[in-house]
Chains A and B, each alone.
Chain A
Amino acid sequence: MTLEEVLAVRPSPGQPRAYSFPKFERTVLPSGLQVLAVHVPGRPLVSANLIFRTGAADEPADLAGATVLTARSMTEGTERYPGLELIEAAERLGSTLHADASWDAFAASVEVAASRLRAALELLDELVARPTFPAEEVARLRDERLNDLLQLRAEPRRRVEQAFSQTIYTAESPYSRLAGGDESTVERLTRDELRTIHRAVLSPDRAALVVGGDLTGLDVPRMAEEVFGSLARDGSGASGGPGAPLAGRAPVANPAVDRPIVRLYDRPGSVQSEVRIGHVGLPRRVPDFHAVQVMAAILGGLFNSRLQLNLREEKGYTYGVGAGFDMRRGAGPFGVRMAVQTAVTVPAISEALKELRRMRETLVTDAELALARDYMVGVFPLRFETPGAVVGAIGGLFVNDLPDDELARYRGLVEAVTAQDVRQAAQDHIHPERLAIVLVGDADVVVRDLEAAGFGELEVIHEEPPGETDGPGAPGGAEEGE
């Protein structure tokens, strides 16, 4: 056959190899700590993740940022390993200790050779149960956070995210803030607040240890019981009092926007506008989760999503545009995200709005539906190639209180989504009548067109250029619509 004849025939797929998400064993220790162990054969690097189901969304508003700062301060020294000795001990095992908090969870994790798992878990226990929160290191990390907030204001991509959250949620919602807190609360944090948070978070009956990798010859539940036995004594986990977690309840996520609005943060000379368009979205636990995910993939998740094909591949307005739901225990944001050349800011927003309306108004085509479903089903085994990814997904089930077979059922539920389901999900969860459009860009260039476009009530905010400030200061004043 000639080359032309050979290439003219598209190959058809072979027989798929059977795949199922690895099964995990659950053991509940007397302290209440759940141990979720997953054997992934042939993977000598083991991932271990100790997760507490309490996160930044559970902290009181006047301690915003304390949970993240608590997590990050825990690697700064413990009773047995002062200062950097804890870090060094982990490094000798070839391992790095991570401790961090998200909106929903507080987690300490480690990746280590299976033969050194026991030693690594002992360091994890040390970090979680007996941190000393040295005052001077806490102060340093707090100052680093304040400096990072200064940097954030200069980065259009991070600044627009912050502004978008502030815009779409009421001030009562923790989601209106940054998970790491902002200047107004972070600068007041000391080791005392961190200790309060630490006591409140550290309750074994809200915790799971997820361990994945080649566990041949390892009795993980027994190891966990021996290593983490003291966890119950250290953590009061008591409710009430400052910093007491709201675990089990969904955080407040009230929308602040009831009509279309536009907020432009002026950044003179910007060659692109960073744009977010959206509103309060959905929590992770929704009955139509799979239809929503298919809908979001078609709208703005796939390489060939509607937004990408229109704004990138047809118009060339942007390097990339995406859309989706950030699902948390409470209703996280839904939004379109894009950075577009300044001169085409308004046409780019118009096209994005058009795509949002089109998702609600018409049925997706068979080809669009097939592409999204086939991708989500087909890529599933690729997502879980390594123990780290498997452990992360199991941790997500625990944090969101999802059933153990959620991932085993995932592909079947995606395959069952219909075009009608997709349109219904768009009609139920995309709300053009209360979209917030938030931009960081050059007001001189775009404000006239934005007004003329009539996307919604326009507010222009001029901020001090961050280069001119010499420390964390108050945000610039807002100016009413020009």
Chain B
Amino acid sequence: MTAPIVRFTDERLANGLRLIIAEDHLAPVVAVCIWYAVGSKNEVPGKTGFAHLFEHIMFQGSRHVAKTEHMGLVQAAGGTLNGTTWLDRTNYFETMPSHQLELALWLEADRMATLLEALNQENLDNQRDVVKNEKRSSYDNRPYGQWSNKLQEHLFPPEHPYHHPTIGSMEDLDAASLEDVASFFRTYYAPNNAVLAIAGDADPAQARAWVERYFGEIAPNPKIPPLGDLSLPATLGGESREVVEDRVPLPRHYFGFRAPRFGDPRLDALDVAAQILAGGKGSRLYRRLVREERIAQDVAFFALPFIGGASMAAGQATVRPGVDPDIVERAFEEELERLGREPVTDDELARARALIETYELEALQRVDERADRLAMFATLVDDPDLINRQLERYLMVTPAEIQAVAAEVFRPDNRVVLTYMPAAGPAGMGEDEESAA
């Protein structure tokens, strides 16, 4: 089975907006995806969580769109939508029946051009409450909920903008003001800081004309402040450990490592290594820790790619009742370190390749995934054609490359070990909580 080639055009409007169009008429569906090169790494001290709060404000209306109307118009058109915020970027997307493409483009343009005209204190306060409840649901009121925030804290030094979590702190969310929203918008939500990808059942000439019409006159910001040097040493320089008492019934280890940056071919090798380590029941960690030794309830391993300084490779293992957590930790680490010492077998690599091929083809079937990847590769590594080369890059990874990246990354002095232990009383409280008032 060969991967279908995603043909696309890649151009810039006069105001700097990067426009990528991938035409495909299989289904009567079109995806619009806009990525802004701004994320939680652009937040300043005292304003953590702001990029994400801002994402919520983007759904509170603009000059020609009332509060909540964005969602109403898209859904009434038979579309789906959302937005997400992460360290390096913020994205907004709509998947529409193809005859409703123009509506999605207009909605995105209206908020890029006129968001501040609808901004008010009431909407900011409302969405601040919603986001604080999102933080409670997704992190604070959830067993093991703070793991990713804690791994970031350990892997990136305090002065590095990946040190703090995207969801931010309650105090900082409370501190967000209308002036902050206006200044963030004027600084980062400019056409020259965005990539707009359209994938699916669209006529490219018509789509291009609509984009010119709605986005063409939006003023760029020639002075987007650069972030400065985010580079980091490739390794942590010493193991970092923390024991977290939480209201959990079973102990669980989380492991974190600094890893090569997004776009680095060594990260492709690490992704293949992750498949061999924990991708399903045939994988090494599952086989040994869950199936054979029966010391873990579950295992996972994956890489989270970032562009500034280092990516994060992360793993987890939940300890079975009655098992010494140290035994689980050692077995997990042994398997990681073994990858750096001896090459993977031909059969393991063949199975990993076959599975990765299916996953990639499965994902690329959908227009929303194609638009998302085109915008992602353009925004983060200035190379949208990676959408057509990523699979090949995975399939070319050799046993020697896996061994090399494993030896580089899975070192004790590059390791964070976070161990959740059952607490006696109410736990998971204290940090990041505001008072009952």
Q: Mark B85-107, 1 if CB is under 8 A from A, else 0.
A: 00000000001111111110110
How many A-B contacts at CB < 8 Å in the complex?
Answer: 267
* Residues of A close to B362: CB separation below 8 A: 45, 111, 386, 388
Q: Mark B327-362, 1 if CB is under 8 A from A, else 0.
A: 000000000000000000001001100110110011
Considering the complex, give the chain A residue whose CB is closest to the CB of B3.
A44
- Using A42-B26, A44-B361, A156-B141 as known contacts, say yes or no to A375 and B99 having CB atoms under 8 A apart: no
- Complex CA–CA separation, A43 to B361 (angstroms): 10
Residues of B within 8 Å of A, CB-based: how many? 97
Q: Mark B281-315, 1 if CB is under 8 A from A, else 0.
A: 11000010011001001100000000000000000
* Residues of B close to A474: CB separation below 8 A: none
Flag whether A84 is at the interface (Cβ < 8 A).
yes
| A382 and B80 within 8 A (CB) | yes
Give the Cβ gap from A143 to chain B, nearest Cβ, in Å.
Answer: 8
**Of A8, A303, A465, which contacts B75 at CB under 8 A?**
A303
* Residues of B close to A44: CB separation below 8 A: 1, 4, 361
* Residues of A close to B361: CB separation below 8 A: 44-45, 113
Flag whether A340 is at the interface (Cβ < 8 A).
yes
Give the Cβ gap from B234 to chain A, nearest Cβ, in Å.
Answer: 32
| B78 and A378 within 8 A (CB) | yes
Give the Cβ gap from A448 to chain B, nearest Cβ, in Å.
Answer: 13
- Using A7-B113, A88-B351, A377-B78 as known contacts, say yes or no to A150 and B99 having CB atoms under 8 A apart: no
- Using A87-B280, A468-B424 as known contacts, say yes or no to A445 and B322 having CB atoms under 8 A apart: no
Flag whether B67 is at the interface (Cβ < 8 A).
yes
Flag whether A304 is at the interface (Cβ < 8 A).
yes
Q: Mark A138-149, 1 if CB is under 8 A from B, else 0.
A: 001001100110
| A271 and B282 within 8 A (CB) | no
Flag whether A268 is at the interface (Cβ < 8 A).
yes
Flag whether B249 is at the interface (Cβ < 8 A).
yes
* Residues of A close to B141: CB separation below 8 A: 156, 270-272, 274, 339
Give the Cβ gap from B28 to chain A, nearest Cβ, in Å.
Answer: 4
Give the Cβ gap from A302 to chain B, nearest Cβ, in Å.
Answer: 6
* Residues of B close to A114: CB separation below 8 A: 1
* Residues of B close to A45: CB separation below 8 A: 1, 358, 361-362, 365
* Residues of A close to B64: CB separation below 8 A: 7-8, 10
Considering the complex, give the chain B residue whose CB is closest to the CB of A5.
B217
Flag whether A227 is at the interface (Cβ < 8 A).
no
Considering the complex, give the chain B residue whose CB is closest to the CB of A377.
B78
| A16 and B75 within 8 A (CB) | no
List residues 308-331 of chain A with CB under 8 A from any CB of chain B. Answer: 309, 312-320
- Complex CA–CA separation, A366 to B22 (angstroms): 37
List residues 174-219 of chain B with CB under 8 A from any CB of chain A. Answer: 201, 210, 213-214, 217-218
Considering the complex, give the chain A residue whose CB is closest to the CB of B140.
A271
| B29 and A382 within 8 A (CB) | yes
- Complex CA–CA separation, A341 to B433 (angstroms): 12
List residues 1-58 of chain B with CB under 8 A from any CB of chain A. Answer: 1, 4, 26-29
Give the Cβ gap from B413 to chain A, nearest Cβ, in Å.
Answer: 32
Residues of A within 8 Å of B, CB-based: how many? 92
Give the Cβ gap from B164 to chain A, nearest Cβ, in Å.
Answer: 20
| B28 and A467 within 8 A (CB) | no
Flag whether A381 is at the interface (Cβ < 8 A).
yes
Flag whether B228 is at the interface (Cβ < 8 A).
no
- Complex CA–CA separation, A212 to B130 (angstroms): 41
Flag whether B321 is at the interface (Cβ < 8 A).
yes
Flag whether A13 is at the interface (Cβ < 8 A).
yes
> Which of A51-59, A93-101, A249-257 forms part of the interface with chain B?
A93-101
Give the Cβ gap from A46 to chain B, nearest Cβ, in Å.
Answer: 11
Flag whether B109 is at the interface (Cβ < 8 A).
yes
Considering the complex, give the chain A residue whose CB is closest to the CB of B200.
A385
| A16 and B99 within 8 A (CB) | yes
Flag whether B436 is at the interface (Cβ < 8 A).
yes
- Using A154-B248, A465-B425, A468-B422 as known contacts, say yes or no to A340 and B321 having CB atoms under 8 A apart: no
Give the Cβ gap from B418 to chain A, nearest Cβ, in Å.
Answer: 17
* Residues of B close to A341: CB separation below 8 A: 129, 132-133, 136
> Which of B120-128, B376-384, B398-406 forms part of the interface with chain A?
B120-128
Considering the complex, give the chain B residue whose CB is closest to the CB of A115.
B1
- Complex CA–CA separation, A8 to B424 (angstroms): 60
Considering the complex, give the chain A residue whose CB is closest to the CB of B96.
A382
- Using A381-B28, A465-B247 as known contacts, say yes or no to A309 and B99 having CB atoms under 8 A apart: no
**Of A2, A95, A150, A319, which contacts B130 at CB under 8 A?**
A319
Give the Cβ gap from A276 to chain B, nearest Cβ, in Å.
Answer: 15
| A382 and B436 within 8 A (CB) | no
- Complex CA–CA separation, A25 to B214 (angstroms): 46
- Complex CA–CA separation, A389 to B259 (angstroms): 36
Give the Cβ gap from A355 to chain B, nearest Cβ, in Å.
Answer: 16
Flag whether A380 is at the interface (Cβ < 8 A).
yes
Flag whether A6 is at the interface (Cβ < 8 A).
yes
- Complex CA–CA separation, A16 to B79 (angstroms): 13
Flag whether A374 is at the interface (Cβ < 8 A).
yes
* Residues of A close to B4: CB separation below 8 A: 44
- Using A45-B365, A319-B130 as known contacts, say yes or no to A148 and B297 having CB atoms under 8 A apart: yes
* Residues of B close to A18: CB separation below 8 A: 28
Flag whether B172 is at the interface (Cβ < 8 A).
no
| B281 and A87 within 8 A (CB) | yes
| A113 and B137 within 8 A (CB) | no
* Residues of B close to A378: CB separation below 8 A: 76-79, 97, 100
Considering the complex, give the chain B residue whose CB is closest to the CB of A3.
B217
- Using A313-B126, A467-B247 as known contacts, say yes or no to A319 and B79 having CB atoms under 8 A apart: no
* Residues of B close to A407: CB separation below 8 A: none
**Of B133, B281, B427, which contacts A316 at CB under 8 A?**
B133
Give the Cβ gap from A29 to chain B, nearest Cβ, in Å.
Answer: 28
Give the Cβ gap from B432 to chain A, nearest Cβ, in Å.
Answer: 9
Considering the complex, give the chain A residue whose CB is closest to the CB of B362.
A45
Max chain A Cβ within 10 angstroms of own Cβ: one of B218, B354, B425, B428: B354
- Complex CA–CA separation, A153 to B250 (angstroms): 11
* Residues of B close to A268: CB separation below 8 A: 425-426
Flag whether B68 is at the interface (Cβ < 8 A).
yes
| B97 and A382 within 8 A (CB) | yes
Give the Cβ gap from A133 to chain B, nearest Cβ, in Å.
Answer: 15
Q: Mark B132-171, 1 if CB is under 8 A from A, else 0.
A: 1110111011110000000000000000000000000000
Give the Cβ gap from A261 to chain B, nearest Cβ, in Å.
Answer: 24
* Residues of B close to A386: CB separation below 8 A: 362, 365-366
List residues 95-147 of chain A with CB under 8 A from any CB of chain B. Answer: 95-96, 111-115, 137, 140, 143-144, 147
Give the Cβ gap from A392 to chain B, nearest Cβ, in Å.
Answer: 14
- Complex CA–CA separation, A148 to B281 (angstroms): 18
Flag whether B240 is at the interface (Cβ < 8 A).
no
Give the Cβ gap from B7 to chain A, nearest Cβ, in Å.
Answer: 14
* Residues of B close to A84: CB separation below 8 A: 281-282, 287, 291
5 inter-chain pairs at a CB distance below 8 angstroms, sorted by A residue, are A2-B217, A13-B99, A95-B354, A147-B318, A385-B27
Question: Besides A8-B64, A466-B422, 10 other CB < 8 A contacts?
Answer: A18-B28, A43-B365, A113-B1, A115-B1, A269-B426, A272-B140, A303-B75, A316-B127, A317-B133, A374-B75
Please give me the 8 A-B residue pairs with the lowest Cβ-Cβ distance, nearest first. A378-B78, A316-B129, A269-B426, A467-B422, A94-B354, A14-B99, A17-B28, A3-B217
